[in-house]
Amino acid sequence: MANPPKALVLAGEGLNCEVEAQQGFLRAGFDAKVVHVRDLLSGKQALDADVVHFPGGFLHGDDIGSAKALADLIQATRIAGKPFVEHLAQFVQDGGIVYGACNGFQCLVKLGMLPAFDGKYGQQTATLTFNQSRKFEMRWVKLKVLPSKCPAFDGMSEIELPVRHGEGRFTVYDRFGTASPAKGEEALVRLFQDGQVLAQYAQKTGSGASPTQFYPDNPNGSMQAIAGICDPTGRVFGMMPHPEGFLEFENHPLWHRRKDALQRAGQPLPKEGQGMAVFHSLFRHVKEKT
Amino acid sequence: MVHRIEVGLREEPGLAKKIQNLLGLPVTEAYSMSVYSLDFDVSADELKQLAEQAYCDPIVEKAAYRKAWVSENPFHFDLLIEKRFRPGVTDAVGKTARQVATAVLQRALKDDASVYSSTQYLFRAEKGRNLTAQDGQNIATQLLGNPLIEQFIVLTKDAFKDGERVPATVPKVADSHKPVVEEVALSTYSDEQLQILNKYRQMALNLEELKAIQKHYKDPQFMQARKKRGMGEKATDVELEVFAQTWSEHCKHKEFNAIIEYKDVQTGKTQIIEGLFPTFIAGATKQVSPHCPWLVSVFKDNAGVVQFNDEYYFALKVETHNSPSALDPYGGALTGIVGNNRDVAGVGMGGADLWFNQFYYCLGDPHHEGPLPPRTMHPRLIYEGVVAGVRDGGNKCGIPTLNGGACFDQRFMAKPLVYCGTGGLMKAKIAGRDSAEKNVLPGDLAVQVGGRIGKDGIHGATMSSVARSENTPVTAVQIGDPITQKTMFDFLAVCRDNGWLRGITDNGAGGLSSSLGEMARTSNGVRFDIGVAPLKYHGLQPWEILVSEAQERMTLAVIPAHIDEFMQLAKERGVEAVVLGEFTDSGFFEVFYNQKPIAYLDLEFLHQGVPRKRLQAEWRGPAQFPQKTVPQHPVPDAVKAIVSSLDVCSKEWIFRQKDHNVKGGTLLPPINGVSGQVNTPATLIKPTFLPGREAAAMSQAAYPKYSDFDSRQAALCAFNEAVGKLIALGAKLPQDDTFWTACDNFCVPDSVYSEQNPDGKYKLAQLVRLCQGMYDYAVALGIPFTSGKDSMKNDLKYEKDGKTFRISVPPTLLISLVAKINDYAQTRSIDFKAPGDIIYVIGTTKNELGGSQYAEQFGIQTGAVPAVDPAESKKVFSAVTDALPLAASAYYVRQGGLALAITECALAAGIGAEIELAKVPKTGLARSDLLLGSETQNRFLVTVAPENQAAFEKTLHGKVTFAQVGTVSKHTTVTFKTLEGQFESITLQELSDAYTGPLRQDLPEIKI
């Protein structure tokens, strides 16, 4: 392989999943580099990659709302006289992928990079707000993967991943907000119609994966159980769960049980965690494109 | 002019319920909003931009900035409370809001232009009921915040109608003191004057120590040297503060180094102990170290360092933060964990990368009803506060909280114990140098990096009782700012990896005085100017700058050739760094304030001059409690009683809100099982960035209640349990390529005999016996201590009706262990695996119910606490290690006995078992409930697939006592055939209700 695809993994300002996210990219075959957010916003680091990843963390402590401060700072950033958001939109138009997980997803949504209806990047139309439980929670969820424009979950119908957040409720309107409920409902319909929903929180028990509004399988009370979305191109996407938290088969809390059962049944053990599927999918997508 | 921006609303259903539950007030709905008060001039457009775009999420919030939110958006409420910080308290949200304002407004703000954050709460009452201003005060001070660090504005519905509003003011620090250095003619002081000085300056030294300092100021050679440096013969207040900090119990561990006369009243023998620390702690490590080739750096640094593999070191440190957590549970626990993080990040040449956190809480019962000890908060509030503090400290810094526990006792109501631990990894070699060594050279630059200095933590708790004015900065209690610290650590990791640093240490107790004083020891001197140190606000005296315990700061030795790159990167990363001075080899600790010398101290005397204490201990034998027997209960009732005791029940609620998966290395989380509610006895983590199957396993244990019987057994049981849990997981006793590292943390009451502390000699004997037990065990098993800490005065003293009362915590030793696992695929979990598997009990159960959960549930102190023979432990553990590859599950039976063991193994699996109690190896036990409740050590509950039965039994044969006691069932019931010959069943649902009920998320209503 001549030049492997390149991934930039952002770090700094409270982001904290850069190490495992970089591992995910590396193991899938990417040339993955950790880059400080400030270097990206100062122009010191160019957007010269196939994928830019906004990983999870606590950007600025989520002090004025999750990832809100970074979204504000990015909105206020200009490089070479042009708003940074326009550079990012250009990057996507040129075939680049922008991927956010958890805090990074919150940032992309508040920045208006998602869902970016009609390609209007920079206009916020949705949000991720406080969990209905009003608590930060760490738990494992099952996701139903929807057919979407996004290359993240190639060929999968369900996946198990960890969530760890206090503000993950996907919302398009609220009784105290300024967005109108009618418009919000319209947006929800559109997200599904246009293949912009990646995955939904699903019931953990039973076979298959059916979306649920019930806690704790839906850990935050997201509208329509939405766990992740993409833009109209599919190349900007994000989700609350953490694929990089499940790189190894043994990251799953019940791996001892699963291993024991598989061994007794004479079946082989998975070689890696389900979260790796996302990194492999992205790798295939970038390779096919070039 | 101050501009207010109010952004909201958020529903707070949990808060409304809490007010009803704990205060009995008729609040049905609660809401909150964020308030930003801008203390600088803005145009109308700018204000609108900040309010509507920068600070507001328009999808779920509206912003108000001309009038109050509730005036702009008609909203019915009965009570309004606004909570804001007192002057000088860290306001992380305000800091971020200011950063955003600077960027959004595209203009530089003046240095003193600040944004202050506050939170406004709105409450609605039950129809026809009213909420008074007094109700508001109660809600505010009991549930919303802490009057020590926060201020409240309460407006009733009627007051608001009458036109009262939350004033547009900010809690700005206003202090116009002129910096002065006071001088004290120490050499002329009488003993009495020395004592007065000691009290006046809150130095907390004794007369002998004061006289040692005085004598030093009479030394002609020292006087001569001072003169040369432009210093007078008098001691400056700066110097006295340096002595007070450096010679404090906290920094010098004077009681752990004191010479102790230990008298055993029973035998009449007296033994002289040349210091607890050198004899029993460092002594144990010295004994075992020839067999521990992986020991790298023990006791001399901020954390103990061992070799993880050829390339990496592992560092471990556990601290306590008890007094701060008593004053402000959230802030105390938060600064506890982030402060402990700084110890690990401050180890060696450039610090370790933080890998995981752990905690242990000793608290009062959160269900407590009735009177409280004076000046204490309700245990429910302490419990919720400390859980939240450790949570935020870990989550916000992206450090998984991997291990933890909690135990509960009435005495901890008076003084909660909050243990915070951290593990870290670092490359063994950086820039060709050993990363565990601080080799600071003369000429290296002394640099402070991180947060600014305020009056935080100066003279801690004693100041809190002094009358405060509106604008006096808060000193006693601190709030941490995890993100400032995280940002700093990200920056420091780059500096370290680039090889720019030669030494690092944290600014904790004693501030710069301690950090520079400690680091100066490797080069043998330091010279620095505190006039250039960045301050939070004006008005700090030079001595205050030097000893301030303001958080989030590290002190570095930067190689001069790299200082420009260092400062450039700091600027790019938004991290504040300042060169204070340089390290020297002068032998002196030299401090300047704007070029004027203000302290000149002999390093050798500063660190070695403190006189050694002599203390007395008197052991009167194990406590004798009246012989009472626990009334017999049917097996299901006994099991439910045991598994629902607070110490052993599910800690799901505590762990669920703590991230234990971030960094991607976690292989066994602290709560687990098919329902995710079962406590994991020992957890497992790997370095995400390393290929292969190397991992670290960790466990901890404490038995404070056993100390009421005999603290020696408490130490042995804690240590043995911690080891047993690791063995069941798959760790092997120390070998050449597998490190074990132990951290010992003592929390004991005042153990120095005096008229005010008449049983001080007994308490000291208890401490001696804790140490002896710990030493014997460490030496027998070959496990070294690598770091530890002691907290000595955990008592609450108070006067009532002219009499003095004292509540003391039981002597508590927490043993924290981390052991290397060479192949994590070979580990075992606790859950039953498949129906038909055979259940074994290894080890003989004895009549050891003293201090047990079962006895305690019925309020009985009786019998013997479990005895541990370390030689026996070693034998059993080796046998289990040999047999483990044949096991399907393994569990170390501990506190809670077989009742808890069976419950946890079954609940974790979601399937039951059939057990015949007569088959359990036992001696001196004839009752089923006592058999299930005994806490005898060195027992395991193991399951084995039928095809492995023969090999498993063969492996154990002749090495340990063991027996087949039942089988795993496919049903969701545990069925016992009792010793009394009956069949008794209990469903998993019943077990789960008992086990998860006591500390579930919504604790029951009580009056606080």
Go through the domains of chain B in sequence order and give each one's CATH number. 3-161 (3.30.1280.10), 271-608 (3.90.650.10), 828-1008 (3.90.650.10)
Determine the pLDDT at residue B226.
94
**Contact A72/B396, CB-based, under 8 Å?**
no
Contact B895, B865 (CB under 8 A): no
What's B975's DSSP letter? E
In one-letter notation, the amino acid at residue B269 is: K
Indicate the pTM of the whole model.
0.96
> Across residues B664-693, what is the average pLDDT?
97
**Contact B59/A250, CB-based, under 8 Å?**
no
Among residues of chain B, what percentage have pLDDT more than 90? 87
- Does the pLDDT value for residue B801 go beyond 90? no
**Contact B834/A260, CB-based, under 8 Å?**
yes
> How many structural domains does chain A have?
1
**Nearest-by-Cβ selection for B664 from A179, A245, A257:** A245
ipTM > 0.90 for the complex: yes
Least Cα distance to B845 among B936, B917, B918 occurs for B936
Query: Which residues does residue B559 pair with via DSSP β-bridges, in sequence order?
Result: none
Q: Buried (b) or exposed (e) across B504-541, using 16+ Cβ within 10 A?
A: bbbbbbbbbbbbbbbbbbbbbbbbbbbbebebbbebbb
Mutation target for B interface from A9, A15, A17, A19: give the one with most B CBs within 10 A.
A19
**Contact B398/A162, CB-based, under 8 Å?**
no
* A258 occurs within a structural domain: yes
Mutation target for B interface from A44, A250, A271: give the one with most B CBs within 10 A.
A250
Q: What angle do CA B304, B305, B311 make, to 5 degrees?
A: 165
Categorize the per-residue pLDDT at B703 as very low, low, confident or very high, splitting at 50, 70 and 90. Answer: very high
In one-letter notation, the amino acid at residue B331 is: G
Determine the pLDDT at residue B476.
64
**Contact B667/A255, CB-based, under 8 Å?**
yes
CB interface of B with A, residues 651-670, below 8 Å: 655-669
Closest chain B residue to A36, measured at CA? B573
Least Cα distance to B397 among B389, B387, B405, B385 occurs for B389
Structure-block tokens of residue B944 = 């084995």
**Nearest-by-Cβ selection for A254 from B117, B398, B674:** B674
Which of B332-341, B455-464, B477-486 has the highest average model confidence (pLDDT)? B332-341
Active-site residue, A244 included: yes
Please give the Cα distance from B341 to B319 (Å, whole number): 10
Determine the pLDDT at residue A268.
98
**Contact A73/B103, CB-based, under 8 Å?**
yes
Q: Please give the backbone phi and psi of residue B891, each rounded to the nearest 5 degrees, phi first.
A: -145, 130
Mutation target for B interface from A10, A114, A171, A257: give the one with most B CBs within 10 A.
A257
Contact B520, B447 (CB under 8 A): no
Residues in A closer than 8 angstroms to B574, CB to CB, are 38
Determine the pLDDT at residue B464.
35
Pairing of strands B838-842, A82-83: unpaired
Residues in A closer than 8 angstroms to B117, CB to CB, are 63
**Contact B59/A19, CB-based, under 8 Å?**
no
- B638: distance to nearest CA of chain A, Å? 29
* A86 occurs within a structural domain: yes
Size of interface A-B (CB pairs under 8 A): 201
Please give the Cα distance from B937 to B915 (Å, whole number): 20
**Contact B657/A138, CB-based, under 8 Å?**
yes
Q: What angle do CA A12, A16, A18 make, to 5 degrees?
A: 85
Structural domain range at position A208:
6-289
Q: Is B61 part of the contact surface with chain A (CB cutoff 8 Å)?
A: yes
Determine the pLDDT at residue B201.
87
Residues 6+ apart with CB under 8 A from B9: A176, B31, B32, B33, B61, B69, B75, B122
Residues in A closer than 8 angstroms to B944, CB to CB, are none
Q: What angle do CA B508, B511, B515 make, to 5 degrees?
A: 85
**Contact B688/A19, CB-based, under 8 Å?**
yes
CB interface of B with A, residues 679-718, below 8 Å: 686, 688-689
Determine the pLDDT at residue B1004.
83
In one-letter notation, the amino acid at residue B888 is: A
> Comparing A203-217, B573-587, B658-672, which segment has the lowest mean pLDDT?
A203-217
**Nearest-by-Cβ selection for A38 from B13, B55, B572:** B572
- Does the pLDDT value for residue B885 go beyond 50? yes
* A1 occurs within a structural domain: no
**Contact A136/B659, CB-based, under 8 Å?**
yes
- A108: distance to nearest CA of chain B, Å? 13
Q: Over B476-495, what HEC string results?
A: CCCCCCHHHHHHHHHHHHHH
Q: Is A10 part of the contact surface with chain B (CB cutoff 8 Å)?
A: no
Q: Is B335 part of the contact surface with chain A (CB cutoff 8 Å)?
A: no
Q: Give rounded-to-5 percent helix, strand, coil for chain A.
A: 35, 25, 40
> Across residues B602-616, what is the average pLDDT?
94
- A176: distance to nearest CA of chain B, Å? 5
* A243 occurs within a structural domain: yes
Determine the pLDDT at residue A203.
96
> Across residues B671-699, what is the average pLDDT?
97
Residues 6+ apart with CB under 8 A from B377: B326, B329, B385
CB interface of A with B, residues 181-220, below 8 Å: none
Determine the pLDDT at residue B474.
63
* A212 occurs within a structural domain: yes
Active-site residue, A250 included: no
> Across residues B602-629, what is the average pLDDT?
90
Mean pLDDT of the residues in chain B: 94
Is B137 buried (19+), middle (13-18) or exposed (0-12) by CB count in 10 A?
middle
Task: Give the HSE-up count for residue B941: Cα atoms under 13 Å, Cβ half-sphere.
Answer: 29
**Contact A135/B657, CB-based, under 8 Å?**
yes
Determine the pLDDT at residue B512.
94
- B640: distance to nearest CA of chain A, Å? 26
Structure-block tokens of residue A66 = 């999750």
Categorize the per-residue pLDDT at B472 as very low, low, confident or very high, splitting at 50, 70 and 90. Answer: low
Whichever domain contains A125, its CATH number is 3.40.50.880
Residues in A closer than 8 angstroms to B118, CB to CB, are none
pLDDT by residue for chain A (290 residues), tens only, comes to 568 999 999 999 999 999 999 999 999 999 999 999 999 999 999 999 999 999 999 999 999 999 999 999 999 999 999 999 999 999 999 999 999 999 999 999 999 999 999 999 999 999 999 999 999 999 999 999 999 999 999 889 999 999 999 999 999 999 999 989 999 999 999 999 999 999 999 999 888 889 999 999 999 999 999 999 999 999 999 999 999 999 999 999 999 999 999 999 999 999 999 999 999 999 999 998 87
- Does the pLDDT value for residue B43 go beyond 80? yes
Closest chain A residue to B824, measured at CA? A250
- What value does the CA radius of gyration of chain B take, rounded to a whole number of Å? 29
**Nearest-by-Cβ selection for B103 from A76, A126, A244:** A76
Residues in B closer than 8 angstroms to A162, CB to CB, are 661
Please give the Cα distance from B706 to A24 (Å, whole number): 48
* A54 occurs within a structural domain: yes
Active-site residue, A242 included: yes
Q: Is B24 part of the contact surface with chain A (CB cutoff 8 Å)?
A: no
Determine the pLDDT at residue B461.
36
**Contact A178/B909, CB-based, under 8 Å?**
no
Please give the Cα distance from B583 to A247 (Å, whole number): 46
Q: Is B54 part of the contact surface with chain A (CB cutoff 8 Å)?
A: yes
Determine the pLDDT at residue B475.
66
Closest chain A residue to B94, measured at CA? A63
Tens of pLDDT, residues B937-969: 999 999 999 999 999 999 999 999 999 999 999
Determine the pLDDT at residue B509.
83
Q: Is A11 part of the contact surface with chain B (CB cutoff 8 Å)?
A: yes
> Across residues B853-882, what is the average pLDDT?
93
Categorize the per-residue pLDDT at B142 as very low, low, confident or very high, splitting at 50, 70 and 90. Answer: very high
Residues 6+ apart with CB under 8 A from B859: none
Tens of pLDDT, residues B639-659: 999 999 999 999 999 999 999
Catalytic residue among A242, A252, A272, A285: A242
